[in-house]
Amino acid sequence: MSDSPIAVEEHGPELRHHFETVEQQRNAASLGMWLFLGTEIMFFGGMFCAYLIYRMNYFNEFAAGSRSLDVWLGTINTMVLICSSLTVALGVRAAQMGKRTLLVILLLTTIIFGFAFLGIKGIEWYDKYKEHHIPGTSFSADDLVRDYPQIHIDQSHEQLYFSLYFAMTGLHALHMVIGVGIFAFLTFHAWKGRYTPNYYTPVEIGGLYWHFVDIVWIYLFPLLYLIDRRPLG
Amino acid sequence: MFDSFPLWPARASTGAGNVDALYIFLVLIASFMSVAIFTMIVIFALRYRRRRGIEAEQIEGSTALEITWSVLPLGIFMIIFAWGAVIYFKERTPPRGATEVYVVAKQWMWKLEHEEGQREINELHVPVGRDVKLIMTSQDVIHSFYIPAFRIKQDVLPGRYTTLWFRATKPGIYHLFCAEYCGTQHSGMIGQIVVMEPTQYEAWLSGGMATGSLASNGQNIFQQLGCPTCHRSDVQGRGPNLVGVFGKPVLLEDGRTVIADENYVRESILSPSAKVVSGFKPIMPVFQGLVSEEQLNALVAYVKSLSPPPGAAGVKPREPKE
Amino acid sequence: MATAAITAEREHYLNKDYGIRSWLLTTDHKRIALLYLASITFFFFIGGFFALLIRLELLTPAGDLVQADTYNKLFTMHGMVMVFFFLIPSIPAVLGNFLVPMMIGAKDLAFPRINLLSWYLYIIAGIMMLHCIVTGGADTGWTFYTPFSTAFSNTKVVEAGLAIFVAGFSSILTGLNFVVTIHRMRAPGMTWSRLPLFIWAHYATSIIQLLGTPVLAITLVLVVFERVFHLGIFDPTRGGDPLLFQHLFWFYSHPAVYIMILPSMGVVTEIIPCFSRKRIFGYHAVALSSIAIAVFGFLVWAHHMFVAGISLYSALIFSILSYLVAIPSAIKVFNWTATLYKGSITFSTPMLYAFGFIGLFTMGGLTGLFLAALGIDVHVTDTYFVVAHFHYIMVGGAVMGYLGGMHFWWPKISGRLYPEWLGKFAALIVFLGFNLTFFPQFILGYLGMPRRYWQYPPEFQVLNVLSTAGSTILAVGYVLPMVYFLWSMRYGRIADDNPWGAAGLEWKTSSPPPTYNFEETPEVTWEAYNYDQIPAPVEVSVER
Amino acid sequence: MSEHIMSSKLYYGIWITLMILTVVTARVAFIDLGPFNTVVALVIATCKALLVILFFMHVKYASEKLTKMVIISSIFWLLILLFLSLTDYSTRALGHG
C-alpha cells in the first residue's frame, strides 16, 4: 500500500490511501454509520408497521399481553441501557481527550451493562416460556383469560402480540449481541492504544450504533410493556 | 372478424364493455405516444446523422418545454385515473338485491353454493341479466377468482370475506381461472361459468338436489349450535337480537361503530370478543375451528335472511337486456 | 493481434498484480466490479436457463415437459435469481462500482473493504441460493406470498429467504458506499451540477437501496420466523393479515424496479450525448427526475394489490400516486429525444442499445399506465399482461441499458475494442428477439391467460409459440456479447483512452485505468457533457 | 467538525434526565388518562430519543446538516410506510368489499 501514487501530505498510518485528509475520512465514516442507522430504522420500521396495525385491530389482546410482562424488569432494563449509553458517551469523550485507561474502563463497563441487559431479557423470556406464552403449538393464554376477566381476549389473537414481542425484542437483543461484539473489538484496540485524539473514529461510530440500539429500546419499552396499565375497572 | 386471432376475450357482462372502452382509449394513447416518440427518434437520427463539417448545435434545455411535457401528460393521466377509478368503483359496489353465491376456495378447487342451496364444484351456473354477488373466502392460501369474459378478478383470502359482483349479458360458457398463485396445481384450479337464459336457469335450479336453501341450512346449524338460547328473535336475550341487524351500523361497547356486513358477522361468530355490541357481555364462546367455512357461510346467509333488503322480496324483477 | 505483444506494458489495474489472491482480496473498486461482472453473468445464465425451460414448457397447452411442481420451482427460481442476483446488482455493482469513483475523480469508493465485503456477501448469498436450487428449490414465486410461503409450501423457502436476506445486505452496503462516496469523495471543482447524470441516477438508486431493502429484509425474517419458530405474524388462523405481508413486501419490491431501471437510465443518459456530440437536453430536469423517481417510487406500492383485498379508498390513493411516478420517467424520455435534435449522430453499438432502451422502456412505461388504471388493472393483473409489462421494463429497459453500458465502457474496462459489426448485429438480435418474446404476452394477458400457469387452455397456444420462438432468438442475442467480449479481451484491437471522444472524467485517464484511477487528482473546471470542447473521434466516422 | 468535546457534566445531566423520564413513563402508565396514556408514553419516548440523538450522538453541536438530513429522511420514510399502510387498514371497515 506504500506505493500510492499520490502522497498529498504527511499523515499517520490510520489514513487510508484513497482519502485526501483525515477529516475527509472521518466524515465519510460518520456519514456511512448514519446512513446505516437510517436503514436500521426501516428494518425495525417493518415490525413497527405490523405492530401498529395489529395493535389497532386487537387492542384488548395487546393490552392483556402487555400486562403479563414484568414492568419493573422492563424499567430496570431501560435504565441499564441508559447507563450504558452514558458510559459510551463518556467513552467517546475519553477517546477525544486521549485518556486510554479511562476509555478501556468505560468500554468494559458498557459491555457489562450490555450483558446485564441481555441477562435480564433472558430471565423475562424464560418467564414467558414457563407461562406458555411462546407462540406455537404449546401456546396458551388461559392464565391471561383467568387473570383479566375484564378484558375480552381471543387466545389466537393473543399469539400475535407475543409473536411481535418475541420478534421485536429478539431482533433488538441480536443487535445488542452484535453491539457487545463491536465493543469487545473496540476495547481490545483501545487497550492496544490504537485510538488517539486524532483518530478515534471507530469508537465514535461504534458509539453511534450503541446509542441507536438504545433508542430502539426506548420505544420498545412503552410500546410493549406499557400498552395499557391503567387500573382495571 | 378476429375470430381466429382475437385481441380480447368474449365480452359477456355489463362491466366488460366499460373496461374494454378504457382499454381501447389507452391503447390509442399509448400507440400515439410511442409512434410519436419513435418517429421523432427516427427523424432526428436520420436528419442529424453525422456529416463531415457539420457540428452539433449545443442546446442547454428549456424550462418551458420541461413544464409542458410534465403538465400535459399529467392532465391526460388524471383523465385515465378518473375513468379507471369510476369503473373500479362500480366493480366493487355490488348493487342491492343481488343474488348471492358463496364461494369457498381451497387447494385446488372452487366450491360454490347458491342461496337456494345448490352446490357446485368448479362450475357456476348463473342466469343472464341478473346481478350476482359472490361472497368468497379461502380455506387455505390466497386464491383469486378471475373471469376474463367479465373482466373481473378478486383475490380470495383466508380468514375473511371478499366480494365480487357481475351481471352476465350473453349466454355461453366462460373460463374461470385462479389468478393468484396457490401451489402445485394452481393452473388446474380452473372451471367454467355457465351463463344461461333465465328459463333454463330456473330449470337447472329446480333440477338440482338442493337440500333446502342456504339460509334454512344456516337456521338448522343455528339451532344445533344452541345459538337461539341467547340470540332470541322475539326479545333481546343475553346476546343481541339478530333480526334486522344485517347491513346496519352497530354501536360497539368501546364506542366505535361498525357496519354489520358479512365480515362482521363472520368475525362475531369466530372471535366474538373482538367487537362486542354495546350493552352486552362478552360471554359468547369462540367458534373458531368448530364450524367449517361452509357452515359459516350458511350461518351468515341465515343472519342476512333475518334482515331482508327493502323491495327485494320475491323474485328479482329486472329483465335481461339481451 | 501482434500489436498487443509489442506495446510496452504500462501498469494498470489489471496487470498490477497477478494470481487468485490479488483478485479475491482486492479492494480496488475496478477489480471488484469485474468480480461482480463474472458472478452476475453466471447467475444471469442460470436464470436464463430457467426462463428457456419455462418457455419450452409453455410451447404446448398441456403440462408435458416438466411436472407441475418443477414448473413452479422453475419460475420461482427464475424470478429470484434474475431479480436478486442479476438485475439488482447488475449495473450498480458492475458499472457503478467501476465508474462512480472515476466519474467524480476519486481514487476509490469511500469504503473499499466494505465494497469487497458486499461482494463476499453476494457470493455467500449466491451459494445459499445455488444450494437451495440444487437441493430442491422453492416454489413460492419470487413474491413469497403468505400464507402459502409460511404454512403450505413444503419446499426450501427458508433457504431462499435467507439467501435473499444476505443478498439484500450486499445491496445495502453497495448503496451506502455510493452515497458516501458521492458526498465525500468528489474531486475539487466537481460540484453537484457538474456531476454526470449517471452519478445522479446511482445516487437515487442508492437511496432506494438504503431505505427500501431493510423492509424486505425484515419481512423475509418474519417469514422465516414464522416457518422456523412458529411465530404467527402473517398467520390468518391467528388473526394475522396476509395482506400485511404484501404491503411490506411491495414497499421494497416496487421501488426495487427503480433500483433496476434508474442506473440503466443513467447509462443511456451518458451514451446519447456522446453519440450525438451534444450536451444533454435539460440537465437539471433529468437529474431531478432521478431523485423524483426514487421518492415517488415509495408512494405507489399497493398498486400491486388492487384486487388483493385492500380498501377501495386506499386503492384510489395508490392509483393516483402511481401516475405521479410516471411523470419523471416521461420527462427523461422526452429529454433524451430532444438531445438528438440538431445533434451529430453516429449509430455505434452503444447508441443502438440506447435507442432500443428508449423504445422498449417507452412501451413498458406506457403499459404501466394500463396497470395503474384501476378498472383495467382488475382484469389484467396477475395475467401475462403484467409479465410482459415488467419484462419490458426489467429486460427491455434494464438489460438493454446494461448491455449498452457494457459496450460503451468496455474499452475503458478492458482496454480493448469489441468487433463493431458483431456488436450491432447482437443489438439487433436482442431487440427483435425481445419483442417477439414479450409482445405476444400483452395480448395473451388481455385475453386472460393468468401468469404462473403450468398448463393453459389451447386457445392461447399460438401466442405462446411465438413467445417461445422469440425467447430462443433472445438467448442467442445474449450469448453473442459474452462470446465476443471474452474474445476481445485477448484479440480485440487496443482501445485509445477515449475511443468515442466522450466527455466525463473516466475518459481522461488511461484505458485500462491505473490502480488509483488518475495519475493526479483532477480538478474539474468544465460542465458535464461539454461536447463542444471535445473533438469527435476520427475513427468512428471513417468506419461508415 | 466532530471534535467538539462536551463537558462531562452535561452528559451526567442528560443521563439523570433520561433516568427520571424512564421512571415517569413507567409510573404514568398506571394512571388512567383515557386515550392520552399512549400519547404521553410516546411523547416521553420521543423526548428521550431526542436527548440521546442530540447530545449523546453529538447531533446538536458537532454535526453538519447532512446528518440531520439522513435522520429526518429515514424517519420520513418510516412515516410513509406507516401512513400509506394505514390508508388501507383504517378505511377497510368503511365497506365496499
Quick check: C449 pLDDT over 70? yes
pLDDT confidence tier of residue B316, bands split at 50, 70 and 90: very low
pLDDT at B262: 86
Structural domains in chain C, CATH included, are 29-539 (1.20.210.10)
Domain count for chain A: 1
pLDDT score at A7:
40
Res. B305 pLDDT band, cuts 50 70 90: confident
Cα–Cα distance measured from residue C80 to residue C87, given in angstroms and rounded to the nearest whole number: 10
Task: Tell me the shortest Cα–Cα distance from C367 to chain A, in angstroms.
Answer: 31
Supply the pLDDT for residue A11. Answer: 54
A231 part of a folded domain: no
C-alpha closest to that of C298 among B201, D16, D84, D22: D84
Strand, helix or coil at A122? helix
> Would you state the pLDDT for residue A5?
41
Closest among C283, C301, C358, C288 to C327, alpha carbons compared: C288
Q: What residues are paired with B178 via a beta bridge?
A: B145
| Beta carbons of C319 and B65 less than 8 Å apart | no
Assign residue A221 the CATH number of its domain: 1.20.120.80
- What is the pLDDT of chain B when averaged over all its residues? 87
User: What local confidence, expressed as pLDDT, does residue B310 receive?
Assistant: 59
Q: Are C305 and B86 in contact, with CB atoms under 8 Å apart?
A: no
- Give the pLDDT band of residue D63 (cuts 50, 70, 90): low
Q: What is the pLDDT of residues B109-153, one digit of tens each?
A: 999 999 888 889 999 999 999 999 999 999 999 999 999 999 999
The residue-averaged pLDDT of C60-76 equals 94
Does the distance separating the beta carbons of B154 and D96 come in below 8 Å?
no
Q: What integer best gives the mean pLDDT of chain C?
A: 93
Please give the domain boundaries of chain B with CATH numbers for all domains.
1-47+94-211 (2.60.40.420), 214-305 (1.10.760.10)
Does residue B320 carry a pLDDT above 60?
no
Amino acid found at C483: V
What digits encode the pLDDT tens for the residues C189-229? 999 999 999 999 999 999 999 999 999 999 999 999 999 99
The alpha carbon of residue B93 is apart from the nearest alpha carbon of chain D, in Å, by: 6
Q: How far apart are CA A45 and CA B106, in angstroms?
A: 34
Q: Give chain A's residues under pLDDT 70.
A: 1-13, 233
Pick B309 or B168 by higher pLDDT.
B168
**Residue at C415: amino acid letter:** G
Q: What is the pLDDT of residue A37?
A: 96
**Number of cross-chain residue pairs from C and D with Cβ atoms under 8 Å apart:** 40
Q: What is the pLDDT averaged over residues C20-47?
A: 95
pLDDT band (50, 70, 90) for residue B309: low
Integer Cα distance of A214 and C469 in angstroms: 58
Q: Decide: residue B311, CB within 10 A, 0-12 exposed, 13-18 middle, 19+ buried.
A: exposed
Q: In what order do the strands lie in the sheet with B143-147?
A: B123-127, B191-196, B172-178, B143-147, B152-156
Tell me the percentage of chain C whose pLDDT exceeds 90: 91
> C247: closest CA among D89, D8, A28?
D89
Q: Which of left, alpha, beta for B309 (phi over 0: left; psi -120 to 50: alpha)?
A: beta
b/e per residue A106-142 (b: at least 16 CB within 10 A): bbbbbbebbebbbebbeebbeebeebebbbeeebebe
Interface test with D, best of C172, C211, C241 (most D CBs within 10 A): C211
Cell representation of residue D20 = 427520571
Look at B200-209, C184-193, D19-28 and tell me which has the smallest mean pLDDT. B200-209
Nearest residue, CB atoms, D6 vs list A34, A93, A219:
A93
* D87 contacts C313? CB cut-off 8 A: yes
- Does residue D2 sit at the C interface (CB-CB below 8 Å)? no
Domain spans in chain D, listed from the N-terminal domain onward: 1-63, 64-97
Q: Is residue A62 part of a domain?
A: yes
pLDDT tens-digit readout, B261-295 = 888 888 888 888 888 888 888 788 888 888 888 88
Q: Is the predicted pLDDT of residue C540 greater than 50, yes or no?
A: no
pLDDT of residue C182: 96
Q: Which of D40, D43, D57 to mutate to test the interface with A (most CBs of A within 10 A)?
A: D57
How many CB atoms are located within 10 Å of the residue A232 CB?
Answer: 13
B259 in contact with D at a CB cutoff of 8 Å? Answer: yes
Q: Which chains border A (3 or more CB–CB pairs < 8 Å)?
A: B, C, D
* A94 lies within 8 A of chain B by CB: no
Across the range B29-39, mean pLDDT stands at: 94
pLDDT at residue B235 above 50?
yes
Q: D80 vs C215: CB contact, 8 Å cut-off?
A: no
* Nearest CA-CA distance, residue C295 and chain D, Å: 9
Centroid of chain to Cα B52:
64
Dihedral over Cα of C225, C142, A49, A152: its sign: negative
- The set of residues, in sequence order, having a beta carbon less than 8 Å from that of B240 and lying 6+ positions away, is B231, B277, B280
- Residues spanned by the domain of A160: 33-225
Chain C CB within 8 Å of residue D77 CB: yes
State the pLDDT confidence band at B240, using cuts at 50, 70 and 90: confident
Contact B163 D95 (CB under 8 A): no
**Contact flag C450-B23 (C-beta cutoff 8 Å):** no
User: Residue A230 falls within a domain, yes or no?
Assistant: no
Query: C28-37, C139-148, C279-288, D2-11 — which is least confidently predicted?
Result: D2-11
- Give CA–CA dist C299/C293, Å, rounded: 10
pLDDT (mean) for B184-202: 94
- B-chain CB neighbours of C379 within 8 Å are 19, 23, 148, 151-153
Exposure string over B76-102, b if 16+ CB within 10 A, otherwise e: ebeebbebbbebbeebbebeebbbbbb
The Cα of B121 is separated from the nearest Cα of chain C by a number of Å equal to 19
> Are residues C219 and A24, on separate chains, in Cβ contact within 8 Å?
no
Candidates C323, C375, C443; nearest CB to B77? C323
Per-residue pLDDT reduced to its tens digit, C218-264: 999 999 999 999 988 999 988 899 999 999 999 999 999 999 999 99
Residue C392 has pLDDT above 80, yes or no: yes
Q: Please, are residues A203 and A95 in contact by the beta-carbon 8 Å criterion?
A: yes
Q: How many residues does chain C have?
A: 544
Contact yes or no for B162 and D97 at CB 8 A: yes
The pLDDT-based confidence of D50 (bands split at 50, 70, 90) is very high
Instruction: Provide the pLDDT confidence category of residue B227 given band limits of 50, 70 and 90.
Output: confident
- Answer yes or no: is A3 within a domain: no
**ipTM of the complex model:** 0.91
Residue A156: the pLDDT is: 87
CA distance D45 to D47: 5
Is the pLDDT score of C477 beyond 50?
Answer: yes
Q: Which helix (H) or strand (E) holds B114?
A: strand B109-114
Measure CB to CB from residue D95 to each of B154, B162, B259 and give the nearest one: B259
The type of residue at B89 is F
Q: Which residues are within 8 A (CB) of C536 and not within 5 positions of it... i.e. 6 or more apart?
A: B50, C277, C344, C501
Per-residue pLDDT, B284: 85
Please judge whether B259 and D93 are an interchain contact, meaning their C-beta atoms are less than 8 angstroms apart.
yes
